[in-house]
Structure 1
């Protein structure tokens, strides 16, 4: 039985609380705790000058601030809310736990108090698009839906207004899942490939974190898994509840699969076509997989006709193979979300023609070996920038089939210069694709800021 948000806050009365990270997810949490009359210390590694008035508002509500390099010093608090970007095993948090502190997070607290059914999505690629498709299908079917987690907004502060018949649809990152002790009613794992190895100690730790999305389910829980991905297919052996697989490559006796140019569902009620591939507006085979995962998750909740009508008009999510502009016959696409080789590969395979690719960025210590041959096959000109430029160049030049000039490879230190170079290389009929295969942190706060910078440059042409 879930506690209500009022019961959760009442249990915090008289306790000292620390919230680590004054960012998008934690600022509403801090305000909610303060308005409940609780004693809160807000901690962040940034200095006061980087907040533009935000911390003054928190101070006016009664927060104590701990800012700058020593923000983790002296965590003698009863309850500590960790930001997802901070590993749970940093020495300061481990020492606090040894002293008796409870270390949790905004999302973990939400799982404790959410009164309605939860559907959560994780994976290396496709999380946001799949989460969006699920939430929009449910809305189109007339359900009241709350969207949050790694996208949307923090939902803990909204829990008081949720009702039992509502639905919470969440995107969850590996960092949010690492310490999770609850699982959603319906869990979706889109795929798994090496990612975030700058933060995770190993691929094994990354996989273990992702498993947490279903390991705490009851026997009534449902987990949707990608049959075509070796790692996620193996998750089926560990799932405590019901399992539905989806496959773009293999017709399944039970599950979601392709047949005769359509997505089919086969379950205890029989077999039926749900969605023709011709009805899907979004380009790319990876988006077919995103639809398959979503259809598996909402089967029985959304009528098939609603799915068909939605797919005809859904143009996708910003920064995900987003058509920015067509100018002089050249199409410019923003795929800034592509912060891993696997996601860039999916983007390259979405186009029938060879593209002019802009790639490179922050080094997450992911190998680019698998990306090199895909670039040789799908790219006519490669424009590299950022910390990983030389690594990507090496992967391409070592690929079977590579010949000097096929593709043309150029490097630029500045992001702006790389974008403009791609523009000058393009001829009518070409596609210019920003799909970096890397995170953005060497130059930008996040992939959204990188995508916005790209779009601004393209609009200014």
Structure 2
């Protein structure tokens, strides 16, 4: 009987008769509530939405006999032993602060997972490139024959499957700043891809955002590994705080320990591992994602398997994903680009010719000025929608390299209209890309729904 499973069993045994409430009824909490109920906990759920707005989830919870606290006052009278907060809920909410003062345990799905996980853990954070890097690490480990559990900010919650995880398996998690802000456990292998202003609508300032990200390595021990981007000023500044084995990756200078690319070849500690030309997915940002992922798995995965994945891996949905070619025009879905830096380092770096760009969405209160000059250089027709549309237009028109009509600027009231305009404007040989540089919440629940809607419309042309 291994200690990992023993720890897990002891935790679930301790739940019997305890009251547990889950704040936020969504993807990560639904399977957990059923699990905790089956372990004998007294489970309740809290959400600002009404029963009608919860739809099927509300009905499922009622059928399980889980009591619901709904509506504007959903956080009142929170006297349960254990409180789970959803990652989208601000850590410093007064109701949660009060609960901590009263001695209640305020935690999250991933915090408990990292505490109980019996196998080796890898985790990735950063402003851009998290999901592709996380997926690459998982693909590398699978190519090596490992049983891999992937979750966190990408896909499914990991805690509901904790009882099925063996010590010889691997767990790979993508972690957002909202998940990391309260973490007091760090993975054995931590990766920070890059950091730039993001989510400043949810964090009180940029420093709180950076400090949240630091939790990915601050609680590591001497046997851990941390992989940081030395070309990014903020992530490079983390190096002195790393307790374990520090690896850097760079396209600018050879790190003393880590991964380097000279423009043609990726080297690990001086050893040639991979030709840039062998990487199937395009863009220098993806070369950096490969460097980060290789740094994370080096020693656990053979160079042969790394090369095999590079040649075969076609990318992650919604990331510069080729949707179709129609009448000589290629349509790409880059819905993941929910910040200006993401659109600049992604879509706007990928194509030799000037493109037709669909841009704009929900306003996260991050600066758009840096986007203007790059759009002027790389875009021939700009189609704007959403709340950030006017901000992007202002950034373009204020750019030093802007000339009247270059780019041509059009406005759309909906994705349907944007796609129709793009088709009308495009000629054979053109590239049309959705790359919003903004979050999706004004028109869609998330970037996946936005991306799929775009793909449906393009496939319907």
TM-score norm. by structure 1 comes to 0.97
Q: Secondary structure at the match of 1:320?
A: coil
The whole-number CA distance in structure 2 between the counterparts of 1:377 and 1:248 is: 23
Q: Secondary structure at the match of 1:294?
A: helix
User: Which residues of 2 match residues 410-429 of structure 1 at below 5 A?
Assistant: 410-429=410-429
Q: Deviations over 1:28-82 (max 9, x none)?
A: 1111001111101111111111233322222222211112222111111111000
Match of 1:316 in 2: 315
Q: Secondary structure at the match of 1:118?
A: strand
CA displacement at 1:260 relative to structure 2? 6.1
Q: Secondary structure at the match of 2:242?
A: coil
CA displacement at 1:281 relative to structure 2? 0.6
Match of 1:204 in 2: 207
Q: Deviations over 1:132-155 (max 9, x none)?
A: 000011001101110011112111
Match of 2:64 in 1: 61
Structure 1: gaps spanning 5 or more residues: none
Match of 1:150 in 2: 153
Match of 2:103 in 1: 100
CA displacement at 1:15 relative to structure 2? 1.8
Q: Which moved more, 1:238-247 or 1:325-334?
A: 238-247
Q: Deviations over 1:112-162 (max 9, x none)?
A: 110001000000000000000000110011011100111121111111111
User: Which residues of 2 match residues 323-338 of structure 1 at below 5 A?
Assistant: 323-338=322-337
Q: Which moved more, 1:32-41 or 1:48-57?
A: 48-57
CA displacement at 1:189 relative to structure 2? 0.3
Q: Secondary structure at the match of 2:36?
A: helix
Conserved? CA contact 1:35–1:61, under 8 Å:
no
The whole-number CA distance in structure 1 between the counterparts of 2:89 and 2:193 is: 24
The whole-number CA distance in structure 2 between the counterparts of 1:53 and 1:378 is: 45
Conserved? CA contact 1:129–1:316, under 8 Å:
yes
Inter-CA distance 388–181: structure 2 relative to 1 (3 Å threshold): same
**Cα RMSD, aligned residues only:** 1.1
Conserved? CA contact 2:191–2:292, under 8 Å:
yes
Conserved? CA contact 1:372–1:399, under 8 Å:
yes
Inter-CA distance 27–244: structure 2 relative to 1 (3 Å threshold): same
Conserved? CA contact 2:15–2:36, under 8 Å:
no
Does residue 139 of the first structure (1) align with residue 139 of the second (2)? no
Tell me how many residue pairs correspond in the alignment.
457
Match of 1:373 in 2: 373
Conserved? CA contact 2:15–2:39, under 8 Å:
no
Q: Secondary structure at the match of 2:31?
A: helix
Q: Deviations over 1:239-263 (max 9, x none)?
A: 1221100012223332101136110
Q: Which residue, out of 219, 222, 230, partners 2:222?
A: 219
Match of 2:340 in 1: 341
Inter-CA distance 99–254: structure 2 relative to 1 (3 Å threshold): closer
Match of 2:53 in 1: 50
CA displacement at 1:96 relative to structure 2? 1.6
CA displacement at 1:85 relative to structure 2? 0.4
The whole-number CA distance in structure 2 between the counterparts of 1:34 and 1:133 is: 35
Does residue 34 of the first structure (1) align with residue 37 of the second (2)? yes
Inter-CA distance 260–445: structure 2 relative to 1 (3 Å threshold): closer
The whole-number CA distance in structure 2 between the counterparts of 1:5 and 1:66 is: 29
Conserved? CA contact 1:124–1:190, under 8 Å:
yes
The whole-number CA distance in structure 2 between the counterparts of 1:425 and 1:122 is: 38
Match of 2:123 in 1: 120
Q: Deviations over 1:257-283 (max 9, x none)?
A: 1136110000xxxx2111101100100
The whole-number CA distance in structure 2 between the counterparts of 1:352 and 1:307 is: 28
Q: Secondary structure at the match of 1:337?
A: coil
Q: Deviations over 1:360-419 (max 9, x none)?
A: 000000001111111011111111000011100111111111101111111122222122
Q: Which moved more, 1:3-12 or 1:364-373?
A: 3-12
Match of 1:364 in 2: 364
Q: Secondary structure at the match of 1:4?
A: helix
Match of 1:454 in 2: 454
Conserved? CA contact 2:15–2:40, under 8 Å:
no
Does residue 89 of the first structure (1) align with residue 89 of the second (2)? no
Q: Which moved more, 1:4-13 or 1:444-453?
A: 4-13
Q: Secondary structure at the match of 1:199?
A: coil
Conserved? CA contact 2:356–2:432, under 8 Å:
yes
Q: Secondary structure at the match of 2:237?
A: helix
The whole-number CA distance in structure 2 between the counterparts of 1:146 and 1:370 is: 38
Does residue 170 of the first structure (1) align with residue 173 of the second (2)? yes
The whole-number CA distance in structure 2 between the counterparts of 1:11 and 1:165 is: 26
Match of 1:298 in 2: 297
The whole-number CA distance in structure 2 between the counterparts of 1:275 and 1:12 is: 49
The whole-number CA distance in structure 2 between the counterparts of 1:45 and 1:52 is: 13
Match of 1:184 in 2: 187
Q: Secondary structure at the match of 1:257?
A: strand
The whole-number CA distance in structure 2 between the counterparts of 1:259 and 1:438 is: 32
